[in-house]
C-alpha cells in the first residue's frame, strides 16, 4: 500500500472486535427459512467535510480539498436456515476493529454481531484519515518544512490524536444504514460463484521479496519477473471471484448484486490529487453495476450493488504503470469486464440451496508456538515502514531519498522480530478477529491486514486442504477485513525487510499464526463444531460514536464564474461559486453537482458527481471550483451545470457541447503500395483529465488525398488503409479523420 508513507509514528492498527460475540452467530429465524434469502444496500460514506488527511498516504501535507468520486459502503445480507451474515465493503483504506464492533452493535436488533459482519476495506488511499480506534493510525507524517515552521507538527507526530468523533460517528451511522437497507430488502434468492483470471493489469511491487519465497536472493531493484519459476503469472494473484446473487420475482431471476474479490492496491490515484476518490475499485464497481443493470434490464428503482473486497493485495499494484483519475478509470474498466465475465459464468450455477455458514473467533499475538518457532508478542514497525511504498514515498524519503528497504540489524533484537531494525513507536492491537464464511463450495477467509500474494496463497492452500473433503472447492481471501494490523508477509519475505516486511508488526511468523488459526476455524465450520472461545479484547479503545452531526453548510451560494460558451467533447465545462467552507454544503447521498442537457423544453440530467467524470474542490474561504469532463460521445447541443447544495441551488448559464477536433492521426505500417494510419484520441493528462481514452478509434472514416485524388475509407479497430503508388504524395487534411460520433482530427498530416 502506501500507508503511513512517512515519518516516525505512523503506524498501523486498530482495534478489535470484542466482548460478547458468539462463536457461530445466527440471526432470528425467518419465515420460510430453509431457502436462501438475500438483500443489498448502500450508503454514502463521503464525509461532508474536507480538510482530513488522505487515509492511506497519511501525509500531513496531503489534505482533502474536494471530491472526484463519492465513497460508499455497500452491503449484502445472506440468510439461510436462520443463519445470517452481512458481507460489507467500505471505500476506506482500512477497517478498525472497534469501528466494526460499533457497526455490528448498531444493527444488533437485526440479528447481527461482531461475529457475522464481514467488513472489508477497498483500500482506497484517497478516503479520510483520522477514524482509527488506535491513535497511532491517526498520525499523519509532517514534511520537513512543516517540522521547521510549525511547532505543533512534532507534537502531533509524537502524540497522535484520538479518532475524530464527528467522522467516526458518521461512518458508524452510514455503514450500519447500508446493512439495514440490505436486511430490509431480504427476499427469496438464488446464488452461485463464478471466477476469472486477470493478467497484465497488476505487477508485484516487491519482486525481490517475493522471489525470496523461491530461495532466490536479489538486491532491491535487481529482481526480474523472469526469475520466478513461473514467470510473470507466478508473481501476481490473478484471481477474480464473484458471488452472484439474484432475487426470485414471480419465478424469474433478477440480479441484485455480487460480492467480489480481486487483489490490487488502490494507489493508482496518487496523493497529489487531494480529493476523495474510490480509485480504480470505484470505477470497477460503478461500471459493473451499470452494465449488469442494462444487460439484465433491472428497473431503475431496484438496486444492483457490487460489494467489493480486496484480496491478497499486499504486493499487488496497478499503480506502478497507471496514475491519476484517468489511469484509475482505465484500470477499473478492465477489472469491470473481468467481473462481468465471472458474473456471467455464475449464471449457470445458481441455486437457492447452497450452504451458508460462518465461524468467528479472536486470537492474540501472545508469543505462542507456531510452525517455525514462536510468534512475537509485541508489535514493532521496521525502518522501511517510515518511507512508504513504491507508488508514493513519504516525507522521510523526500528528505533522505532512501527507501531503507533491505536494511537489517546485525542480530536478533527482540524475540520473534528477526533482524528487523526496530522503530519503537506506536500502539497496535494485541489481538485480532478472524472469520471464515462458507457460501456454497467456496470458503471466504478474512485477514485483518494486507497479505502479500504468497501469504494469501499459503492461507488458501492450508484452508482448502482442511475443507476440501467437505466439498469446498476454492478458498477466497478477504483482506483488510474487520481489523488492521498492517502487512502480513511470509517469513522469507519478512527476512528481506522490504516495505511490506518492515510493516509486518508481529514479526516473521505472523502469517503462520494466522494460517494456523484460520485452518482450525475452517475445519470446525465444516465439521459443524463451534469456534474456539475468543480472546476478549478491547477494540474500541474508549472511542464512542457520539460525535455531533456535520453542519448543513451555507444557506446561500453565489455564482462567480460561468462555464465557457462552447465546450468540446473530452474538454471540461467549469463552474465556480461562493458557498460555505470545507465542503459542508454537499448533501449526503444525493448529487451536489449535476450536468443537464436541454431536450425540447425539458432539462434532463446526464451526469452528476455521483459518477466518475466530475471533480470539485473548495478552499477554506468557501470558493468552489468544479469541472465536468464531457464524454466523447455526448450528444451535441445545449447543456448547463446545476449545484444542488443542502440549502441552496445554483444554475449556470447554458453552454454548447460540440464535437472534439483533437483526434490524432499517425502513420502505421502498411504493405508495399499502400498507406495506413492509426487514428486515436489524445492521451489523458495526468491529474487533469478524469476519464480514460481508448487506444484507438473503433469506427469512423479517414479522407486521404492521394496525389490530387480525395478518397474516404473506413476505420476498423483504429486503422485506415488505402492504395497509394510509390512516389505519390499522401496527406490527410485537418478534420480528415472522423470517429463514429463526429469527432474529428485537428491537424493536417503529410504521410509522404
User: Cα(44)–Cα(91) distance, rounded to whole angstroms?
Assistant: 10
Under 8 Å between Cβ of 323 and 268 = yes
Under 8 Å between Cβ of 514 and 422 = no
Any idea which residue has 487533469 for its cell? 688
List beta partners, residue 364.
431
User: Taking Cα atoms as reference points, which of 745, 697, 738 lies closest to residue 718?
Assistant: 697
Q: pLDDT digits over 594-615, tens only?
A: 999 999 999 999 999 999 999 9
Single out the residue in 527, 542, 577 at which a domain terminates: 527
440-462 burial, b at 16+ Cβ within 10 Å, e below that, comes to bbbbbbbbbbbbbbbbbbbbbeb
User: Cα(522)–Cα(113) distance, rounded to whole angstroms?
Assistant: 19
Backbone phi and psi for residue 367, each to the nearest 5 degrees, phi listed first: 75, 15
Query: What is the model's pLDDT at position 157?
Result: 60
Query: What is the model's pLDDT at position 58?
Result: 78
Residues 279 and 382 in one domain: yes
Q: pLDDT digits over 576-587, tens only?
A: 999 999 999 999
Residues 575 and 511 in one domain: no
Q: pLDDT digits over 660-685, tens only?
A: 999 999 999 999 999 999 999 999 99
Average pLDDT estimate for 137-154: 69
Q: Is residue 535 situated within a structural domain? A: no
Query: What is the model's pLDDT at position 62?
Result: 87
Q: Is residue 226 situated within a structural domain? A: yes
Residue 20 pLDDT more than 50?
no
Query: What is the model's pLDDT at position 22?
Result: 31
Residue 322 pLDDT more than 80?
yes
Q: What integer best gives the mean pLDDT of the chain?
A: 92
Residues 632 and 668 in one domain: no
Residue 31 pLDDT more than 50?
no
Query: What is the model's pLDDT at position 151?
Result: 61
Element (H, E) at 175: helix 165-184
Residues 566 and 488 in one domain: no
Q: pLDDT digits over 695-738, tens only?
A: 899 999 999 999 989 999 999 999 999 999 988 999 999 999 99
Backbone phi and psi for residue 626, each to the nearest 5 degrees, phi listed first: -130, 150
Residue span of the structural domain in which 744 resides: 664-750
Query: What is the model's pLDDT at position 154?
Result: 55
Backbone phi and psi for residue 439, each to the nearest 5 degrees, phi listed first: -130, 110
Q: Is residue 6 situated within a structural domain? A: no
Query: What is the model's pLDDT at position 399?
Result: 76
Residue 103 pLDDT more than 70?
yes
Residues 514 and 583 in one domain: no
Q: pLDDT digits over 562-581, tens only?
A: 999 999 999 999 999 999 99
Residues 187 and 313 in one domain: yes
Q: Is residue 547 situated within a structural domain? A: no
User: Cα(645)–Cα(554) distance, rounded to whole angstroms?
Assistant: 9
Residues 566 and 668 in one domain: no
How many domains does one find in the chain? Answer: 3
Q: What is the CA radius of gyration of the chain?
A: 27
Single out the residue in 658, 688, 721 at which a domain terminates: 658
Residues 45 and 169 in one domain: yes
Residue 19 pLDDT more than 80?
no
User: Cα(359)–Cα(532) distance, rounded to whole angstroms?
Assistant: 9
Assign 234 to helix, strand or coil: helix
Q: Is residue 506 situated within a structural domain? A: yes
Average pLDDT estimate for 457-481: 98
Pairing type for strands 450-451 and 442-446 reads: unpaired
Query: What is the model's pLDDT at position 148?
Result: 62
Element (H, E) at 103: helix 97-106
Angle at 676 between CA 673 and CA 681, to 5 degrees: 175
Dihedral Cα 475, 459, 125, 438, nearest 10 deg: 30
Q: pLDDT digits over 184-231, tens only?
A: 999 999 999 999 999 999 999 999 999 999 999 999 899 999 999 999
What is the tally of helices (H) and strands (E) in the chain? 12, 38
User: Cα(595)–Cα(583) distance, rounded to whole angstroms?
Assistant: 19
Under 8 Å between Cβ of 392 and 5 = yes
Under 8 Å between Cβ of 679 and 716 = no
Pairing type for strands 126-128 and 54-56 reads: antiparallel
Single out the residue in 507, 527, 547 at which a domain terminates: 527
Q: pLDDT digits over 185-195, tens only?
A: 999 999 999 99
Query: What is the model's pLDDT at position 158?
Result: 61
Q: pLDDT digits over 409-426, tens only?
A: 866 568 899 989 888 888
User: Cα(527)–Cα(522) distance, rounded to whole angstroms?
Assistant: 9
Average pLDDT estimate for 382-390: 85
Query: What is the model's pLDDT at position 413?
Result: 65
Residues 629 and 697 in one domain: no
684-710 burial, b at 16+ Cβ within 10 Å, e below that, comes to beebebbbbbeebbeebbbbbbbeeee
Residue 489 pLDDT more than 50?
yes
Assign 180 to helix, strand or coil: helix
| More confident site: 338 or 151 | 338
pTM of the model: 0.93
Average pLDDT estimate for 309-324: 97
Confidence of residue 28 (pLDDT cuts 50, 70, 90): very low
Query: What is the model's pLDDT at position 146?
Result: 64
Q: Is residue 90 situated within a structural domain? A: yes
% of the chain at pLDDT higher than 90: 83
Residues 510 and 395 in one domain: yes
Query: What is the model's pLDDT at position 3?
Result: 32
Q: pLDDT digits over 32-81, tens only?
A: 346 999 999 999 999 999 999 999 887 878 899 999 999 999 999 999 99
Residue 236 pLDDT more than 70?
yes
Residue 241 pLDDT more than 60?
yes
Q: Is residue 540 situated within a structural domain? A: no
User: Cα(170)–Cα(551) distance, rounded to whole angstroms?
Assistant: 12
Q: 551: which DSSP letter? A: P
Residue 85 pLDDT more than 70?
yes
Residue 5 pLDDT more than 50?
no
Query: What is the model's pLDDT at position 194?
Result: 98
Q: Is residue 79 situated within a structural domain? A: yes
Residues 356 and 440 in one domain: yes
Residues 341 and 395 in one domain: yes
Q: pLDDT digits over 514-566, tens only?
A: 999 999 999 999 999 999 999 888 899 999 999 999 999 999 999 999 999 99
List beta partners, residue 308.
260
Amino acid at each position: 500500500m502506501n500507508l503511513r508513507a512517512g515519518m516516525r509514528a505512523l503506524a498501523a492498527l486498530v482495534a478489535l472486535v470484542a466482548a460478547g460475540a458468539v462463536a457461530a452467530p445466527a440471526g432470528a429465524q425467518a419465515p420460510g427459512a430453509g431457502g436462501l434469502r438475500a438483500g443489498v444496500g448502500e450508503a454514502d460514506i463521503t464525509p461532508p467535510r474536507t480538510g482530513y488527511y488522505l487515509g492511506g498516504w497519511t501525509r500531513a501535507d496531503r489534505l482533502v480539498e474536494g471530491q472526484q468520486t463519492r465513497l460508499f459502503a455497500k452491503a449484502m445480507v445472506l440468510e439461510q436456515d436462520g443463519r445470517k451474515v452481512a458481507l460489507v465493503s467500505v471505500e476506506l483504506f482500512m477497517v478498525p476493529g472497534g469501528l466494526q464492533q460499533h457497526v455490528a452493535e448498531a444493527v444488533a436488533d437485526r440479528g447481527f454481531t461482531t461475529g457475522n459482519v464481514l467488513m472489508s476495506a477497498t483500500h482506497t488511499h484517497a478516503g479520510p484519515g483520522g477514524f482509527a480506534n488506535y491513535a497511532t493510525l491517526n498520525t499523519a507524517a509532517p514534511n520537513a518544512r512543516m517540522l521547521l515552521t510549525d511547532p505543533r507538527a512534532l507534537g502531533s507526530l509524537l502524540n497522535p490524536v484520538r479518532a475524530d468523533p464527528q467522522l467516526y460517528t458518521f461512518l458508524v451511522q452510514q455503514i450500519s444504514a447500508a446493512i439495514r437497507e440490505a436486511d430490509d430488502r431480504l427476499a427469496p434468492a438464488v446464488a452461485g460463484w463464478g471466477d476469472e483470471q486477470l493478467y497484465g493489469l497488476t505487477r508485484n511491487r516487491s519482486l525481490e521479496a517475493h522471489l525470496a519465497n523461491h530461495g532466490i536472493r536479489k538486491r532491491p531493484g535487481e529482481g526480474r519477473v523472469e526469475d520466478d519459476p513461473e514467470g510473470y503469472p507466478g508473481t501476481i494473484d490473478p484471481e477474480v471471484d464473484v458471488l452472484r446473487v439474484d432475487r426470485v420475482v414471480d419465478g424469474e431471476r433478477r440480479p441484485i448484486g455480487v460480492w467480489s474479490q480481486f487483489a490490487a492496491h488502490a494507489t493508482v490515484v496518487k496523493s497529489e490529487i487531494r480529493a476523495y476518490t474510490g480509485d480504480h475499485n470505484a470505477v470497477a464497481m460503478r461500471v459493473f453495476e451499470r452494465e449488469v443493470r442494462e444487460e439484465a434490464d433491472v428497473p431503475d428503482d431496484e438496486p444492483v450493488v457490487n460489494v467489493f473486497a480486496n484480496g491478497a493485495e499486499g504486493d499487488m499494484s496497478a499503480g506502478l504503470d497507471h496514475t491519476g483519475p484517468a489511469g484509475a478509470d482505465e484500470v477499473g474498466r478492465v477489472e469491470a469486464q473481468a467481473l462481468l465475465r465471472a458474473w456471467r459464468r455464475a449464471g449457470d450455477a445458481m441455486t437457492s440451496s447452497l450452504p451458508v455458514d460462518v465461524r468467528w473467533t479472536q486470537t492474540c499475538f501472545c508469543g505462542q508456538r507456531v510452525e517455525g518457532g514462536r510468534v512475537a508478542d509485541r508489535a514493532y514497525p521496521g525502518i522501511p515502514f517510515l518511507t512508504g511504498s513504491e507508488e508514493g514515498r513519504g516525507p522521510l524519503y523526500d528528505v533522505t531519498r532512501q527507501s531503507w528497504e533491505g536494511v537489517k540489524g546485525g542480530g536478533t533484537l527482540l524475540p520473534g522480530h528477526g533482524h528487523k531494525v526496530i522503530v519503537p513507536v506506536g500502539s497496535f492491537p494485541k489481538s485480532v478477529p478472524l472469520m471464515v464464511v462458507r457460501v456454497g463450495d467456496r470458503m471466504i477467509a478474512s485477514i485483518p491486514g494486507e497479505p502479500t500474494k504468497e501469504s494469501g496463497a499459503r492461507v488458501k492452500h492450508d484452508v482448502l486442504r482442511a475443507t476440501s473433503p467437505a466439498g469446498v472447492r476454492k478458498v477466497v481471501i478477504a483482506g483488510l477485513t474487520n481489523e488492521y494490523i498492517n502487512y502480513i508477509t511470509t517469513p522469507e519475505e519478512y527476512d528481506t525487510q522490504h516495505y511490506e516486511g518492515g510493516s509486518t508488526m508481529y514479526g516473521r511468523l505472523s502469517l503462520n499464526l494466522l494460517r494456523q488459526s484460520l485452518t482450525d476455524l475452517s475445519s470446525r465450520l465444516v465439521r459443524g463444531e463451534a469456534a474456539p472461545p475468543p480472546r476478549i479484547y478491547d477494540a474500541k479503545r474508549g472511542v464512542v460514536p457520539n460525535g455531533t452531526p456535520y453542519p448543513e453548510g451555507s444557506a446561500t451560494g453565489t455564482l462567480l464564474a460561468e462555464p465557457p460558451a462552447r465546450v468540446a467533447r473530452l474538454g471540461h465545462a467549469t463552474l465556480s461559486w461562493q458557498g460555505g467552507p470545507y465542503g459542508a454544503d454537499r448533501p449526503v447521498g444525493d448529487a451536489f453537482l449535476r450536468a443537464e442537457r436541454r431536450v425540447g423544453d425539458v432539462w434532463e440530467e446526464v451526469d452528476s458527481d455521483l459518477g466518475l467524470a466530475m471533480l470539485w474542490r473548495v478552499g477554506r474561504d468557501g470558493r468552489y471550483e468544479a469541472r465536468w469532463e464531457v464524454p466523447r460521445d455526448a450528444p451535441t447541443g445545449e447543456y448547463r451545470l446545476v449545484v444542488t447544495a443542502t440549502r441552496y441551488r445554483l444554475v449556470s448559464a447554458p453552454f454548447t457541447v460540440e464535437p472534439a477536433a483533437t483526434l490524432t492521426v499517425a502513420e502505421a505500417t502498411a504493405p508495399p503500395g499502400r498507406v495506413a494510419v492509426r487514428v486515436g484520441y489524445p492521451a489523458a493528462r495526468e491529474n487533469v483529465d478524469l476519464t480514460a481514452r481508448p487506444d484507438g478509434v473503433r469506427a469512423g472514416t479517414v479522407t486521404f488525398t492521394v496525389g490530387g485524388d480525395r478518397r474516404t475509407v473506413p476505420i476498423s479497430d483504429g486503422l485506415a488503409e488505402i492504395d497509394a503508388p510509390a512516389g505519390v504524395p499522401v496527406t490527410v487534411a485537418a478534420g480528415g479523420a472522423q470517429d463514429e460520433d463526429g469527432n474529428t482530427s485537428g491537424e493536417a498530416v503529410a504521410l509522404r
